[in-house]
Amino acid sequence: MSEAIDALKKAQMLTNGHVYVTRGSEGCNWLEKAAYATNRVFTVEVVDTTGAGDVFHGALAFGLASGYAIEEAVRFASGVAALKCTRPGGRRVSLIVSKPDLSCHFLYNMSSRKLLEECS
């Protein structure tokens, strides 16, 4: 684990920004105020992981741009990526937009109350 922490610290120094490492079913790691952080993963019935990393990073960017704290943004992104994995193919995340009630219920069960309020 110290190798991962060292790599994150080096990447953060080189980029002067936030650095995240996604590890699939093992979650995401990042540095926050020089402290190593990790999120818990969500258990879903996986159908297809194609595009899950892209979906995660897009949702992470959305969360950060929307003003979520880093941990909330990572949690949100993890939930959206998990939802994507319950559908086949790389383009099925559009269900999040077309079925907002289902998506918000799912994300509420995996994220903070703040995210549910924003879905209402």
Q: What is the pLDDT of residues 38-71, one digit of tens each?
A: 888 888 889 999 988 998 999 899 889 988 889 8
Query: CB atoms < 10 A from the CB of 6, how many?
Result: 10
CA dihedral 110, 114, 115, 120 (to 10 degrees): 120
- Extract the residue ranges of the chain whose pLDDT is less than 70: 1, 91-120
Q: 0.75 cut: is pTM over it?
A: no
pLDDT given at position 19: 86
Q: Which CATH code fits 2-119?
A: 3.40.1190.20
Distance of alpha carbon 10 from the chain centroid: 22
